Structure 1
Amino acid sequence: MDNRQFRAIVDAYADMVYRIALNQTRRGADADDVVQAVFLKLYEKPPVWLGRASAAEQADGGRSLRSSRSAAPNAATDERLRAWLIRVTVNECRNLWRTLWHRRVELREVSDADTPPYEEPAFSESAHERLYAALGELPEKCRIVVHLFYFEDMGTREIAAVLGIKEPTVRTRLVRARKLLKQTLKEAWDDEQCQPVQSHDGRGPCLC
């Protein structure tokens, strides 16, 4: 893979990889680490079929990989690359969490200090905050399926192929995630409604 092709792939897919990494790690710094690891792996050990596709394109006039996945004749290659990047991203997130877990265990063995809380992105609207918090509380297996389905616009069959699971399993996790989200958001809404509203002078609950 030459630098030009690699740069084109990074430009086309870096945002997607970052979104998935942030969805899984919930920390901007960790997501950045995952993005670097994913593209480093792509650069150092690209899939064999990607090299073959590149050679075929060069023989067909030297056209570079297109950023648009719908453009022929690179659509099939782009979809395959997209699936490869998603799988590697999910695996790198799991590797990161395993590494962080060992680090936290080691730190707790030598110190009673708590590790700093994860960083949540800032949202301007409380509804977005509640939604993000609810998504973060989903089990990992449900969270990645929800992200790919709703935020990456992937179908259940495509998600199943990318994650290496059966399509009914994808549907089951989506149904479970929707129920959990509905319950969590309803509880958050009920708690918010139960909060007393302060009067205009700030001296007590408003009775109006």
Structure 2
Amino acid sequence: MLEDKERAIAEIMHTYGDDVLRLVYTYVRNQAIAEDLTQEIFIKCYTNLHKYNGTSKLKTWLWRIAINQCKDYLKSWYNRKVIAVGEETLRQKEEPLGTEEKVVRGFMDVELITAVMQLPPKYREVIYLYYYEEMTAKEIGNVTKKSENTIKTRLKRAKELLENQLGGDLYDG
């Protein structure tokens, strides 16, 4: 049983490790902190693996743990009182995903990454999950425990904020 659990967590880490790290980075904007939090997330995943009941996708369950861990960190005394030294850059995914090619390709553009990272967390979250992880508004709602309409509204507002920050040239048309 223990070997099965260890094999399962190893597979989960192999499959989702880089994606979780990128998701965490979009919240904390510091590579070292993101790496630490990612380790904590997988520890939580390991200790709570028995609670995964299969009613949602494994990725949705893992994202929920990751988002909660990030939000807890952002609310923590440590985050509010300790100044992070040396902001790191976001690691890029090797193969771009296919959703709205201009935006996905734009994630490789430093100007767009900078603009996304300046968004408030609730908008940064939906932009990342929608464009980079290719989740639907419904899936994002399940992960964030917000209604699908709330997600659609946040996505629309996030796009507006990005267009304003980038001088209106987010889309070709």
Fold match, TM over 0.5?
yes
Gaps of 5+ in 2: 93-105
Q: From the superposition, tell whether residues 10 and 95 of structure 1 become closer, same or farther in structure 2 (CA, over 3 Å).
A: same
Equivalent residue for 1:66?
Answer: none
Equivalent residue for 2:65?
Answer: 88
Structure-to-structure mapping, 1:174-193, within 5 angstroms:
174-186=155-167
Instruction: Give the greater-gyration-radius structure (CA).
Output: 1
1:148 aligns with 2:125: no
The size of the alignment, in residue pairs, is 151
Q: Distance in 1 between matches of 2:127 and 2:85?
A: 27
TM-score (norm 1): 0.65
Pick aligned residue for 2:138 from 131, 136, 157 = 157
1:47 shift after superposition = 4.1
Pick aligned residue for 2:87 from 104, 111, 118 = 118
TM-score (norm 2): 0.77
Pick aligned residue for 1:137 from 118, 133, 140 = 118
Structure-to-structure mapping, 1:1-208, within 5 angstroms:
2-50=5-53, 77=54, 80-99=57-76, 100-104=78-82, 116-121=85-90, 128-186=109-167
Q: From the superposition, tell whether residues 115 and 156 of structure 1 become closer, same or farther in structure 2 (CA, over 3 Å).
A: closer
SS at match of 1:16: helix
SS at match of 1:2: helix
Aligned-pair identity in percent equals 30
Q: Which amino acid counterpart does residue 154 of structure 1 have in structure 2?
A: M
1:161 shift after superposition = 1.1
Whether the aligned pair in 1 keeps the contact of 2:64 and 2:144 (CA below 8 Å) is: yes
1:85 shift after superposition = 0.8
Q: Distance in 2 between matches of 1:45 and 1:142?
A: 28
Whether the aligned pair in 1 keeps the contact of 2:22 and 2:91 (CA below 8 Å) is: no
